[in-house]
Amino acid sequence: MADRHIDEHLDDGILRLTKVNTDTRQGVSMAVIAELGEAMDRVRDDPQIRCVVIDAGGDGFHNGAVMLGEMGKDWPDLTRADYRRIIDLGHGLGRNIASLDVPVIGVAAAGGLGGGLELLCRSDLVYTTDAARFSFPEVTLGLVAGWGGTQWAGRLIPHRKAQEFLLLGEEIDGRTAEQWGLVTRSLPDRAALDAQVQNVTDRLKRCAPVSVKWHKECLRAIWQKSLTEGEAVEAIAVPEAMATQTWFGPTAAFFEGKGWDYTKNAAISP
């Protein structure tokens, strides 16, 4: 539909979501928040979806929030309640993305800033290009990176680098973002980036959905719980996954030197 801001394409279990609101350079508007949230909810209800890819149209840049102009007020008339509504919307979508049982891949061909980068931080895997640019400019604007930027980027990046990145508001390129741990991998160009994403989605065919789900739960515990609590999550995860008996066929195939395609539920060559 013409008024949609997210283009959706589902093929072979991969749901690709591409922001197409080029009027705001793929900025995070109220409509983008709503449509991405609706898509995340559908993923939870569709067991055939095994991966989500979030991209941006145009040059592939994930811009920040553009909601201030959508609040129906002049800037001087905005209240603390209005500001808090914006923060709650961003936090809510971020948690929705991060809590999915299936992997979420963020694709940032040209990079991202502010709220766009904060939502990328909630993805499980993030791929970019060496020439991409990333920044949190909030400190230069009298704002705060309040959709988890201080907390997610502050945990992903070594602390001294996070201080420099967030306190100065300067840009870094894709290669630096990889070195700092802000993104999973930086590729030379868009073609190499697309090939990498294809390789990852193909690899996921060999990964049991129930195992992916529980590994994500255990990884979340690293951020949210103590070591003892995290080990308790593992102790739950193992029997829950094994009780599904999903492992019978793949394990037998493994001992025969073969792999397993979970989309076909069949043994394949290694």
- 25 and 145 fall within a common domain: yes
- 159 and 228 fall within a common domain: no
Q: Domain ends where: 161, 179, 204?
A: 204
- 184 and 64 fall within a common domain: yes
- Specify the pLDDT at position 128: 98
164-170 long-range CB contacts below 8 Å, 24 or more apart?
Answer: 165/135, 165/136, 166/136, 166/139, 167/139, 168/139, 169/135, 169/136, 169/137, 169/138, 169/139, 169/140, 170/135
Banded model confidence at residue 241, pLDDT cuts 50, 70, 90: very high
The strands making up 61-62's β-sheet, listed across from edge to edge, are 61-62, 111-113, 133-135, 172-173
- 241 and 166 fall within a common domain: no
- Residue 14 placed within a domain: yes
Neighbour count for residue 114 (Cβ, 10 Å):
25
**Once rounded to an integer, what is the mean pLDDT over residues 183-199?**
98
Percent of the chain at pLDDT above 70?
A: 99
- Specify the pLDDT at position 22: 84
Dump pLDDT digits (tens) for 75-124.
999 999 999 999 999 999 999 999 999 999 999 999 999 999 999 999 99
- 180 and 121 fall within a common domain: yes
Dump pLDDT digits (tens) for 140-181.
999 999 999 999 999 999 999 999 999 999 999 999 999 999
- 221 and 186 fall within a common domain: no
- Residue 240 placed within a domain: yes
Predicted TM-score (pTM) of this structure: 0.95
Q: Domain ends where: 158, 181, 204?
A: 204
- 51 and 170 fall within a common domain: yes
The mean-pLDDT minimum among 52-56, 69-73, 135-139, 189-193 falls in 69-73
State the CATH number of the domain containing residue 43: 3.90.226.10
- 70 and 190 fall within a common domain: yes
pLDDT of residue 69 exceeding 90 = no
| 23 vs 237: which has the higher pLDDT | 237
141-145 long-range CB contacts below 8 Å, 24 or more apart?
Answer: 145/114, 145/118
pLDDT of residue 203 exceeding 50 = yes
CA distance linking residue 244 with residue 239, whole number of Å = 9
Q: Which domain holds residue 84?
A: 6-204
Dump pLDDT digits (tens) for 215-225.
999 999 999 99
- Residue 1 placed within a domain: no
- 110 and 50 fall within a common domain: yes
- 214 and 122 fall within a common domain: no
- Specify the pLDDT at position 152: 94
- 195 and 213 fall within a common domain: no
Question: How many structural domains is the chain composed of?
Answer: 2
Banded model confidence at residue 2, pLDDT cuts 50, 70, 90: low
- Residue 16 placed within a domain: yes
**Once rounded to an integer, what is the mean pLDDT over residues 232-257?**
97
pLDDT of residue 1 exceeding 50 = no
